[in-house]
Amino acid sequence: MNSSQDPAPPVLVNIDSQAEQALAKQRQFKSYLFNLLCLMIAMLSVVVLVVLLASIGFKGFSSIDQTFLTQSHDPQDPEKAGMYPSIVGSLLVCLLCALTALPIGIGSAIYLEEFRPRHPILRAIHGFLQLNISNLAGVPSIVYGLLGLTVFVYMFQLFGKLEQNKVSGLDFWGVRRYYQLLSLDRSSTVLIPLTDPQQTTIKVTGPTTGFDSNERAIEILVWDRDQPKPTDPAVLARTVKRNAIGGLLELRAWYYFRLPLGSSFLAAGLTLALVILPIIVISSQEALRAVPSSLREASLGLGSTQWQTVRGVTLPAALPGVLTGAILAMGRAIGEAAPIFVVLGGGIAKRSGPENLMDTCVTMPILIFGWAKNPVERYQQLAAGAIIVLLIMLLLMNSVAIYLRQRMHQFSG
């Protein structure tokens, strides 16, 4: 029944093939141009990265030497300034941050991914938890800084206010307090145990018992101005003037702990842990989701409980992904400046790394910020040098992450 006389539809008859071809070429040309435009824009980010690294490298290369890596900030002489305390500080803060944020983050990722409840109310709570984590990831880091300031540094002033040269807060362990007095030989001091925490100075009126500067018990003698000075240096070292005034001295062990935490590296590390917690949860969740459900089902089919499945099957399978996310989050933590600035106050003059849990510290981003704010040209160069060190550390961490990711691909493939 095929009628060959049927005319073709007018659209196809009236076709001007040359015009159509020209149009097609034009459209293809347009597409090609768009492709080029996109390529150029995409290459722009490469250019930006190269310019950024080159300019900072050029500026800061000359300032990296041994002094720079072993000394501390010097407000007078930039030639003698270095970044050693900040490297130690950054590493310790990050370690603390990893120790707290990783278990909690991975734990809640496991709970959210692997233990989905069946009860409708619990499921609603579950959904809310998930939404809450995405929202936390969007909170500006400086708000976390303020959270750290009120919750960790001041603790809503529940334990009183911390004050300089006063006994304040609630001590737990690791501190011994003395009144410190200069002895007669002018080079050593004697210590008298603190009796009244409200009284931060003491006036010595008579002989008493106390300690020498190495905390060995000694008898402290008193010398009056009108008497001859003792000649024996050992006696001289434990003699003080009558009515000499001593100030408060705190000897803190490394495990010294008190509440509120104050502007300590403990507070900084915990604040930073809060900042990266949502990042760790989200990346661990993705890693867990990527584990094929057949593995879980096989394990459950063999009679394991859910937790046994997670511990023995799911978590090991997801581990490379979890670790990659964790390392990337640590990279974020080590470069994060705003929350630490709010918690620690941005001082960069510290000469060593943190010496006890309640000690303040400098981190690399804070040091870079402090130097970059300084108009002296040499400090600007130092800032660039510190940036190079920071970027090299980040690069090392990221290469570990990339290596792990490659391992992961091998595992799943």
- Per CB under 8 A, contacts with other proteins among 334-363 are 334-338, 341-342, 345-346
Phi, psi angles (nearest 5°) of residue 263:
-80, 70
351 three-state secondary structure: coil
Q: Would you tell me how many other CB atoms lie within 10 Å of the CB of residue 298?
A: 13
SS3 282: helix
Q: Choose, by CB under 8 A, the member of 21, 22, 28, 392 that binds other proteins.
A: 28
Restricting to residues 227-266, name those near other proteins by CB under 8 A: none
Q: Does 38 participate in binding other proteins (rule CB under 8 A)?
A: yes
Q: Which of 306, 352, 406, 412 binds other proteins (CB under 8 A)?
A: 306
C-alpha span between 255 and 146 (Å, rounded): 26
Closest contact distance (angstroms) between CB of 195 and other proteins is 30
Residue with tokens 């300034």: 81
In terms of CB distance, is 189 or 381 closer to other proteins? 381
Rounded Cα–Cα distance for residues 290 and 324 (Å): 14
* Residue placing its CB nearer to other proteins in the complex, 104 or 221: 104
Q: Which of residues 119-148 bind other proteins (CB under 8 A)?
A: 129, 131-136, 138-147
The nearest distance, CB 129 to other proteins, in angstroms, is 5
Among 27, 80, 289, 351, binds other proteins (CB under 8 A): 27
With contacts defined by CB under 8 A, name the span among 24-32, 76-84, 291-299, 349-357 that binds other proteins.
24-32
Residue listed under structure tokens 């570990």 = 400
In degrees and rounded to multiples of 5, residue 344 shows phi and psi of: -95, -15
- Select the residue interacting with other proteins from 94, 202, 281, 319 (CB under 8 A): 281
Least gap, CB of 189 to other proteins (angstroms):
31
Q: Does 406 bind other proteins (CB under 8 A)?
A: no
**Which 193-212 positions form the footprint of other proteins (CB under 8 A)?**
none
Residue 397: what are its φ and ψ, rounded to 5°?
Answer: -60, -45
Interaction between residue 35 and other proteins (CB under 8 A):
yes
Strands 217-223 and 239-241: parallel
- Two structure tokens written together for 61: 């290369």
Least Cβ distance, residue 162 to other proteins (angstroms): 10
The CB-of-325 to other proteins minimum distance in angstroms stands at 13
**Residues facing 173 on adjacent strands:** 257
Of 21, 31, 205, 293, the one binding other proteins by CB under 8 A:
31
Residue among 71, 91, 104, 374 that touches other proteins (CB under 8 A): 104
Task: In angstroms, give the least distance from the CB of 244 to other proteins.
Answer: 33
Distance (Å, whole) CA 41 – CA 47: 10
Q: How many residues does the chain have?
A: 413
Shortest Å distance, C-beta 141 to other proteins: 7
Buried b (16+ CB within 10 A) or exposed e, 403-412: ebbeebeeee
275 near 333, Cβ under 8 Å?
yes
Name which of 70 and 306 has its Cβ closer to other proteins. Answer: 306
Q: Tell me the two tokens of residue 42.
A: 């995409």
Shortest Å distance, C-beta 169 to other proteins: 14
Q: What's the min distance (Å) between Cβ of 145 and other proteins?
A: 8
- 3-state secondary structure (DSSP) of residue 119: coil
- Rule CB under 8 A: say whether 154 interacts with other proteins: yes
- Integer Cα distance of 233 and 144 in angstroms: 56
Q: From the CB of 234, what's the least distance to other proteins, in Å?
A: 46
> Which 59-88 residues touch other proteins, going by CB under 8 A?
59
Question: In the complex with other proteins, which residue's Cβ is closer, 143 or 298?
Answer: 143
* Three-state DSSP state, 72: coil
Q: Which of 15, 62, 65, 103 binds other proteins (CB under 8 A)?
A: 103
3-state secondary structure of 196: coil
* Rounded alpha-carbon distances, angstroms, from residue 290 to 26, 112, 283: 44, 14, 11
| DSSP calls for 319-349 | HHHHHHHHHHHHHHHHH--HHHHHHHTT---
**Where in 367-386 is the site for other proteins (CB under 8 A)?**
368-369, 372-373, 380, 383-384
| Residue 135 or 352 having the CB closest to other proteins | 135
